[in-house]
Amino acid sequence: MNDIFADRISDVPRSFIREILKVALDPEVISFAGGLPNRDLFPVNELTNATNEVFQIYGNDIFQYSNSEGYIKLREYIAQNYNRQGLSVNPENILITNGAQQGLDLLGKVLLNDGDGVVLEEPGYLGAIQAFSLYKPSFLPVQVSEQGMDIDGLRNVLQQNKAKLIYTVPNFQNPSGITYTNENRQAIAQIIQDKQLFLIEDNPYGDLRFSGEPALSFAHYLPEKVIMLGSFSKIVVPGFRIGWIVAPDVILNKLLIAKQASDLHTCHFTQYIIYQYLQKNNIQDHINKVAQQYGEQCQSMLASLDKYFPSNVTSTKPEGGMFLWVTLPPQVSAMELFDLAVKEKVIFVPGTPFYVNKNHGNTFRLNFSCTDKPTTEIGIKRLGNALKKLQNKV
């Protein structure tokens, strides 16, 4: 039967996260595994009102096919947001997508041939690894730290390989929660300014800052070389699947062709609802509410880690977003810890799926957006108990 499948699908793994989330269906399990926004913070009443208003304004027309680029008023709104940040973005350079994840797939279709070099963060976003893997590139991993991408590592990789893309999540990175400093971003820009490649800045979490100061977009330094991805999934609702790509003309034209071949257009019913919601509500107030709660839940998780984990276990200290990253002693396996944790009725995501070189078995990701403070403490205590059992075994 393998002969019927295309070569491009043969080496693409199933999503490890999607697989382990099946365990979370048990109501007794506390899950730190998902990358889910907190459902209790969805603006249900406001979106209900926006939906009713869309029906009243547009009637049957809202159910018709639409253009592939996306609702122009929504694209204008997105462009204005970028312009307020000091960037120069034209609505004509924005393509509305089915979540930022489709943006990754379209970029792979348009830009990657077999064997093309793609620089990835290490650890990096699993969804990007999976999306790009379909197009059989040569992944070039570069380690990230609390400051951002390792500059010497990036320089060495680019000296030894020809890369076409650099993929980054510079704000509250998934999976680590780290944020690139301005100095790090500027250094990366200097390295790539004379090279024939594009940098993808994926920024689904950037608005969810609960401490510290914002950093500048890569587009401030290299506007002609940066492709930006954004999404309403983390700041409004994920179920509408409304994301976007900002790209230079020459790339956007090809992305539009790929979009037309893929799905004709993103659901314009949900685009109109999102836009109506944005017009009638102060989105910044909503974002502030979400960020404040996530910040409190993050601090609760960090306090519980200090309380229930041994001192030789370290974690990142995010200033926003939804994740933090835990590093165990070198001899301790996160996969073995996962097996014990399931028995303790708590789950997380082991670090291995976030690497293209599967040799970093002592790390794992924790999500703090969906558990309140008491539940977080109970879950981290259970995880601490599992870790003690594993360390005693080691």
> For the segment 129-185, what is each residue's pLDDT rounded down to a tens digit?
999 999 999 999 999 999 999 999 999 999 999 999 999 999 999 999 999 999 999
Whether the bond into 204 is cis, omega within 30 of 0: no
Cβ–Cβ under 8 Å, residues 179 and 173: yes
Q: Tell me, what DSSP letter sits at residue 2? A: G
2-42+285-393: CATH class: alpha beta
Write down the domain spans for the chain.
Answer: 2-42+285-393, 44-280
Q: pTM value?
A: 0.94
Two domains, one topology: 2-42+285-393 and 44-280: no
What pLDDT was estimated at residue 24?
A: 61
Cβ–Cβ under 8 Å, residues 276 and 54: yes
> CA dist 89 to 63, 70, 78, 240, Å?
30, 16, 9, 24
Kindly state the average pLDDT of the residues 241-270: 96
The per-residue pLDDT for range 206-229, each reduced to its tens digit, is: 999 999 999 999 999 999 999 999
pLDDT at 114 over 70: yes
Pick the closest to residue 75 from 96, 59, 101 (CA basis): 96
Q: How many Cα atoms occupy the beta-carbon half-sphere of 361 within 13 Å? A: 10
The whole-angstrom separation of Cα 233 and Cα 239 is: 7
- Identify the band that residue 16 occupies on the pLDDT scale cut at 50, 70 and 90: low
Kindly state the average pLDDT of the residues 38-46: 97
CATH code of the region 44-280: 3.40.640.10
Cβ–Cβ under 8 Å, residues 320 and 208: yes
